[in-house]
Amino acid sequence: MGLFKNIFSSEKKETLDKGLETSKNTFFNKLSKAVAGKSKVDDDVLDNLEEVLVSSDVGVNTTLKIIERIEARVAKDKYLGTDELNKILREEIAGLLSETNVGEDTEFGIPDTKKPHVIMVVGVNGVGKTTTIGKMAFQFKKKGLKVVLGAADTFRAAAIDQLQVWADRVDVPIVKQDMGSDPASVAFDTLHSAVSSDADVVIIDTAGRLHNKVNLMNELTKVKRVMQKVVDDAPHDVLLVLDGSTGQNAFEQAKQFTAATEVTSLAVTKLDGTAKGGVVIGISDQFQVPVKYIGVGEGIEDLQVFNKFEFVDSFFK
Q: What is the pLDDT of residue 1?
A: 44
pLDDT, tens digit, for every residue of 59-110?
999 999 999 999 999 888 888 888 888 889 988 998 888 877 677 788 898 8
Mean pLDDT score, 46-64: 94
pLDDT value at residue 289: 85
Quote the pTM value: 0.91
- Which tens digits make up the pLDDT trace of 131-189? 999 999 999 999 999 999 999 999 888 999 999 999 999 999 999 999 999 999 999 99
pLDDT of 293 > 80? The answer is: yes
Q: What's the per-residue H, E or C state across the chain?
A: CCCCCCCCCHHHHHHHHHHCHHHHHHHHHHHHHHCCCCCECCHHHHHHHHHHHHHCCCCHHHHHHHHHHHHHHHHHHCCCEHHHHHHHHHHHHHHHHCCCCCCECCCCCCCCCCCCEEEEEECCCCCCHHHHHHHHHHHHHHCCCCEEEEEECCCCHHHHHHHHHHHHHHCCCEECCCCCCCHHHHHHHHHHHHHHCCCCEEEEEECCCCCCHHHHHHHHHHHHHHHCCCCCCCCCEEEEEEEHHHCHHHHHHHHHHHHHCCCCEEEEECCCCCCCCCHHHHHHHHCCCCEEEEECCCCCCCEEECEHHHHHHHHCC
- Predicted confidence at residue 161, as pLDDT, reads 95
More confident residue, 317 or 6: 317
pLDDT tens digits along 196-215: 999 999 999 998 776 567 78
* Domains located in the chain, CATH noted: 10-99 (1.20.120.140), 117-306 (3.40.50.300)
- Band (pLDDT 50/70/90 cuts) for residue 217 is confident
In the chain, % of residues over pLDDT 90: 60
